[in-house]
A and B are shown apart, each in its own frame.
Chain A
Amino acid sequence: MNPMFHRHLVLAYVLTWVIQLSYVAYVALKWRTGRRP
């Protein structure tokens, strides 16, 4: 495979996880903020 296209495959997988984990971090932050009295 063209090395540039290989980069696309890696980027697609990495960005998927970055997006999903960013959302998890957002929810976790909301959870923590709400727990404070």
Chain B
Amino acid sequence: MKLFRWLWVIATLAVMIQAFHVAMFVVPADEAQGDIFRIFFYHFPSAMMTFLFFFVSFIASIVYLASRNTNMTRALKADALALANAEMGVVFCTVVLISGPLWARPVWGIWWTWDERLTSTLILYLIYVAYLLLRRFAEGPQMQTLAAIMAIFGYVDVPIVYFSTRWWRTQHPAPVFGGGPNSGVDPRMLPAVWWNLAAWLAWGILIVSFRYAVAVRDQQKQQQEALRALEVAG
């Protein structure tokens, strides 16, 4: 298992370097935007990873709620997975919310606009930050249940973020894939898109697996402390 993890680290770094190289030096500059378009190769994969890791957190939260009264081991694993994926999703969402304005300023002439895509993304970010704050500061046995419910309700915003550019007329462009006749990127750009999607996916899985291990260990420590407290009380 340790060998596999190290191989994953090496593979991730190799794909990262290749993805950066393709994004910066292989694909041509955009005809309309020039080199500033290359922000897209970090912005778009980060947005996709946000959706993906929040989705895993959503599923894990459902598993937690479904099994918390019948299978505590599974429930605790699901809870740790929900936490690790929510944190990773927030990290990627932070990247989206920072790289977006840095790209918007030269292209749109403004840093930010309260259009549906940007606003719903900010709301999504705030929902999951609130989720992490709840997990950090709330105590007691109900905290995990409340957090799971929050993750499930919070995930409702993800389809709104995704479809916002189709449902409303937004400043933000249409989805890159499956966004209609006027959307999409130049096919010459696609290698950079695929490489960066693969790189950030590999990176995300690596960090989430590490964070999950830390969360599981924290749970075990808490259980041991609770048992010790019971022994002392008894």
Residue ranges of A at the interface with B (Cβ–Cβ < 8 Å): 1-2, 4-6, 8-9, 11-13, 15-16, 19-20, 23-24, 27, 30-31, 34
B218 touches A (CB below 8 Å): yes
What's the nearest-Cβ distance from chain B to residue A24, in Å?
6
Interface size class of B (residues with CB under 8 A): 20 to 34
A23 & B207 in contact (Cβ 8 Å cutoff): yes
A12 & B210 in contact (Cβ 8 Å cutoff): no
A9 & B36 in contact (Cβ 8 Å cutoff): yes
B172 touches A (CB below 8 Å): no
Residue ranges of B at the interface with A (Cβ–Cβ < 8 Å): 34-36, 38-39, 42-43, 46, 87-88, 91, 94-95, 98-99, 102-103, 105-106, 203, 207, 210-211, 213-214, 217-218, 221
B105 & A8 in contact (Cβ 8 Å cutoff): yes
Given contacts A1-B34, A12-B39, A31-B213, 19 further A-B contacts (CB under 8 A): A5-B34, A5-B35, A5-B106, A8-B36, A9-B38, A12-B98, A12-B102, A13-B39, A15-B95, A15-B98, A15-B99, A19-B91, A19-B98, A20-B203, A23-B87, A23-B88, A23-B91, A23-B207, A34-B221
A12-B106 in contact given A1-B35, A1-B36 (Cβ < 8 Å):
no
Q: How far is the CA of A16 from the CA of B217 in the complex (A)?
A: 29
A-B contact pairs, 13 of them (CB 8 A): A2-B106, A5-B34, A5-B106, A8-B39, A8-B102, A8-B103, A9-B35, A11-B102, A15-B98, A15-B102, A20-B95, A23-B88, A27-B207
| Cβ contacts under 8 Å, B87 to chain A | 23
Interface residues of B: mostly helix, strand, loop or mixed?
Answer: helix
What's the nearest-Cβ distance from chain A to residue B140, in Å?
21
A8 & B106 in contact (Cβ 8 Å cutoff): yes
| Cβ contacts under 8 Å, B214 to chain A | 27, 30-31, 34
Determine the residue in chain B with the shortest Cβ distance to A4.
B106
A5-B207 in contact given A12-B99, A19-B91, A31-B214 (Cβ < 8 Å):
no
Determine the residue in chain B with the shortest Cβ distance to A29.
B214
| Cβ contacts under 8 Å, A5 to chain B | 34-36, 106
What's the nearest-Cβ distance from chain B to residue A9, in Å?
6
Determine the residue in chain B with the shortest Cβ distance to A11.
B102
Q: How far is the CA of A6 from the CA of B95 in the complex (A)?
A: 18
A34 & B36 in contact (Cβ 8 Å cutoff): no
